[in-house]
Every structure is written in structure tokens, then in C-alpha cells.
A = this chain, B = another copy of it.
Amino acid sequence: MLGWFYGGTKSTNVRVSLPAVCFVWQIAMIVLFGVFIRYNEEADTHWQEFRRENNISSDIENDFYFRYPSFQDVHVMIFVGFGFLMTFLKRYSFGAVGFNFLVAAFGIQWALLMQGWFHTLDPATGKILIGVENLINADFCVAGCLIAYGALLGKVSPVQLLVLTLFGVTLFAVEEYIILDLLHARDAGGSMVIHAFGGYYGLAISWVLYRPNLNLSKRLNGSVYHSDVFAMIGTLFLWMFWPSFNSAITDHGDGQHRAAINTYLALASSVLTAVGISSVTQKKGKLDMVHIQNATLAGGVAMGTAAEFMITPYGSLIVGFCCGMISTFGYVFVTPLLEKYLKLQDTCGVHNLHAVPGMLGGFIGAIVAASATEEVYSREGLINTFDFEGDFADRTVGTQGGFQAAACCVAIAFGIVGGGCVGLVLKIPIWGDPADDNCYDDEAYWEVRECFLNSPPVGAVAL
């Protein structure tokens, strides 16, 4: 009955809208790919000619071999990592992993187009030439939208998620263009571009979609024992492959190598402080799975910008140390306050895992960039690392630091303003979102079969 609360009947029947969106958009993708997208010279049958022309001595120097293992790790993070991390709710595992799958599968196609138009459109032919690096960037782009989904988990329909993704990818491509191309900031692992943007984008949408009677679904807003174990699959694949995420598109050679090491160390450090704070803030020192599932990852988020810089191994540990702590504090203290005072309902706590650590990561990157010296980097290393070439050949590290900080503000602004606008679109009562007493429930959008084992198997011994 409360479904009627804010105007419009709340029917979760998406039998028309969901197939319509899926088919129309997929057909649009096919048409646009037909017009715009081709293989680049490393994925094209002309590769052998290209090799000869460019004196490339071996097939192994095809970018595929530099980046494909990292790409696959990133791919696992997007589909298994994000998907399973969100399965922690007791009755929303289908929605978590299934809608994550749907949204990401659409988003990567749209991202190839949007990022292509902004970054790699060949002006002569009007074509976007794609290779493995584009696939990684498309996965990255989708990550921003999946982070936003985390704030909305259980409260939106799949159609809303697809709309969120359509706009999210578009906004992402624009802010990325401003940050990487116009401001010439560096952000290899996307602390700013992915996490700060995605986090604030989701929070802004969630704020617009505030549900005053969400406590009617309170019984389902929590985990059960084994849903927490499922969520650990997501946590661990994110944690393990984050070094690949932050190093996937950095420079060949030392760039990838260093980014992986720094991320590995920051993540290790996060785990200890997340555990420490989790224990100290709970009654009897018991650990809370929410913290272990999320705050342990904060080091990876916060190293997204600085991982490719010479932040030093102990610098990485310090970043992880602080962010693991801050993130856990966020889960314990800030999330309840945000809901109470800011009317911000954040199912997965993306504020604590993405928004804040992403923002911090952006500013850490700015500081590390500003304090770079030729002594540490070597002249050549400095140019390579910060890409001080072409129009930017004269930029100093101090200026670079300033632009990095500005970039972080741009990402946050895009997230908040963009999320606010998209939130208004999603508020239109045509998207089939659930009523307030029907949230966090797979019944709304899935054929749900019986639950576990109403009849024990023959021979099972009761405890």
C-alpha cells in the first residue's frame, strides 16, 4: 500500500520497458559500431605490414601482450568483483550479480563509443580504432556506474540502472576528456575519474531518490551468514586484482611494474588498519564483515592516481594505512549520520569506499606530483611519468600538482551535478522501481525459487 507513497503506482512490472530498452539500445549500438568502430592496426590483419613499417621486431611487442593479462584481471573485477561484493544482502543476490552483469555489458559498448569519440576518433576517416587498451578503458568507465549502483542497491529497477549507465558513461567520457586531455592530469587507476566521480554520482542520485519510508524494507536490508561469504568472493577478487587495475594502462615497463607494486602494498596496509578499527569500535572487539568486505579495499582506491608515480613503497603503505582507517570509520560513524541528517541512503557505503578514498587519492596524487624531483625520477623519467611532452613540455611539477588537484574537483563536481540531474530523470515514475516496502527483494524482478532446503535430504543428521 505504501507503494503509492510518492505519486504514481509502484508497479515493478518491467515486461515492456526492460525488453524495449535492451533491444532498442542494443540495436543502436550495432548501428553506431557499424558507422564508427574498426580494429586498430594491432588487431587488424594489416599488423604484419604495420610491424615492418615500424620496425617492430616481434609479435610479442603487440600491445596485446603488454596489457591482456591486466585486462582480464580488470574484467574479473568488474563482473565478479563488483557483482559479488554486492551479494551481501540476504535476498538481493540475483539483483546484485545479475543487474551488475547487465549494466556492465551495456556500459562497455557505450563506453567504447563515447570514449572513442572523445579520445581516439581519427579525424581523417571519422573512425574509432579499438584495441585492448580501449577494452580496458571501457571496463574502467563502467566501473564508475557500478560504483553508483552500490549506493542504490536494492532500491532501483533494472531500467533505471540502464538509464543511470547511459548518462553515467556519457558524463564519464566528458569529465575524463577534461581531466586527462584538457587539464593533462594523470590518473592511471582512476582515483578521481572513476572512484570520486562514481561515488559522488551514486550518492547524488541516491539523495534525489530519497525514500522516507525505506525502513519498511528494513527486514531485508542486511546479510545472512552465507551471503556474507559470497560477498567475500567479490572482495577478494577486487583486492587481489587491484594491482592490475591501477597498472593496466600505465606506461609499458617500469610504469606498469611500479603501479602494481605500490597498489599491492597500499592494499596490504589497508587490511590491517581496517581490521584494527573494526575491532576497536565494536562491542567485545568482534569484527564486522561489512568492514572487512569494504574498507580493506580503500588502499587500492586511494592509490589510483599516485600508483604510477615514485610514491615509494613506504609512501604506499602510509596511504593504505590512513585510508583503511578512514574508510572503516566512515562505515561505523559517517554512514548512519549521512542517512539521518543528509537523507542519504547508501546501501553499500560507497561514500566510505569510493567517494572519500577516491577524493583523497586525487589529492594524494596532486601532492606526490608536486613534490616530484629530477633527482628522484631522472629527467627522462619525469617526462615519461608525467608526459611532459608536446604542449605540456614546459609544465613544472608544481603546476602539474595544481592541475591534479583541479582535476579532482572536476571529477567531484561532475559526480554531484550529474548525479543530481540524472536523479531527477530517474524520479519520473515510469521506470518500474519498487515501493518502499518492496526494496532489497529479488522477488520484484526475478523468478525466485524456494529457499534453502525446506526438506532435509534423506539421511541428513540434525544437529
User: Which segment, of A22-30, A191-199, A205-213, A399-407, faces chain B?
Assistant: A22-30
> Residue A429 at the B interface, CB < 8 A?
no
Q: Mark A227-262, 1 if CB is under 8 A from B, else 0.
A: 011101100110111011000000011101110110
Chain B contacts for A264, CB-based, 8 A = 108, 135
Cβ contact within 8 Å between B225 and A452: yes
Cβ contact within 8 Å between B244 and A48: no
Size category of the A interface is: 35 or more
Chain B contacts for A79, CB-based, 8 A = 236, 239-240
The verdict on A48 contacting B132 (CB below 8 Å), with A80-B233, A232-B98, A272-B22 known, is no
Give Cα A71–Cα B91 distance, bound, in whole angstroms: 36
Cβ contact within 8 Å between A236 and B108: no
> Residue A317 at the B interface, CB < 8 A?
yes
- Residue of B23, B70, B91, B457 touching A273 (CB-CB under 8 A): B23
Give Cα A267–Cα B26 distance, bound, in whole angstroms: 12
Cβ contact within 8 Å between A48 and B253: yes
Q: Mark A43-66, 1 if CB is under 8 A from B, else 0.
A: 111111101000001111111111
Cβ contact within 8 Å between A22 and B258: no
Chain B contacts for A237, CB-based, 8 A = 76, 80
The verdict on A454 contacting B450 (CB below 8 Å), with A61-B60, A64-B260 known, is no
Chain B contacts for A381, CB-based, 8 A = 44-48
Shortest A244–chain B CB gap in Å is 6
From 437 to 463 in chain A, residues with beta carbon under 8 angstroms from any chain B beta carbon are: 441-443, 445-463
> Residue A396 at the B interface, CB < 8 A?
no
The verdict on A269 contacting B47 (CB below 8 Å), with A93-B225, A225-B448 known, is no
> Residue A287 at the B interface, CB < 8 A?
yes
Cβ contact within 8 Å between A226 and B93: yes
Chain B contacts for A26, CB-based, 8 A = 269, 272-273, 276, 317, 321
- Residue of B59, B256, B457 touching A252 (CB-CB under 8 A): B59
> Residue A224 at the B interface, CB < 8 A?
yes
Give Cα A392–Cα B257 distance, bound, in whole angstroms: 32
Whose C-beta in chain B lies nearest to the C-beta of A432?
Answer: B285
Cβ contact within 8 Å between A452 and B449: no
- Residue of B229, B240, B277, B378 touching A230 (CB-CB under 8 A): B229
The verdict on A448 contacting B459 (CB below 8 Å), with A59-B253, A64-B253, A101-B271 known, is yes
Chain B contacts for A102, CB-based, 8 A = 271-272, 275
Shortest A372–chain B CB gap in Å is 9
Cβ contact within 8 Å between B285 and A449: no
Shortest A307–chain B CB gap in Å is 11
Q: Mark A1-41, 1 if CB is under 8 A from B, else 0.
A: 00000000000111110110011011101110110011100
The verdict on A285 contacting B131 (CB below 8 Å), with A44-B258, A45-B384 known, is no
Shortest A310–chain B CB gap in Å is 6
Give Cα A45–Cα B101 distance, bound, in whole angstroms: 38
Whose C-beta in chain B lies nearest to the C-beta of A134?
Answer: B261
> Residue A377 at the B interface, CB < 8 A?
yes
> Residue A280 at the B interface, CB < 8 A?
yes
Cβ contact within 8 Å between B66 and A282: no
Whose C-beta in chain B lies nearest to the C-beta of A310?
Answer: B45
> Residue A346 at the B interface, CB < 8 A?
no
Other A-B pairs beyond A65-B66, A441-B457, 15, CB < 8 Å: A23-B276, A30-B321, A34-B312, A37-B313, A45-B382, A98-B287, A135-B260, A223-B449, A225-B448, A226-B230, A286-B447, A287-B445, A289-B447, A451-B453, A455-B462
24 CB-based A-B contacts, threshold 8 Å = A19-B275, A22-B279, A39-B261, A39-B312, A42-B254, A45-B377, A47-B257, A48-B381, A60-B65, A64-B260, A90-B453, A94-B228, A94-B229, A97-B232, A98-B292, A101-B239, A130-B313, A132-B257, A224-B452, A226-B230, A233-B233, A442-B457, A448-B460, A451-B452
Q: Which 9 residue pairs across A and B have the least CB separation, nearest first?
A: A45-B381, A15-B285, A22-B276, A47-B254, A105-B271, A59-B253, A33-B314, A59-B252, A34-B314
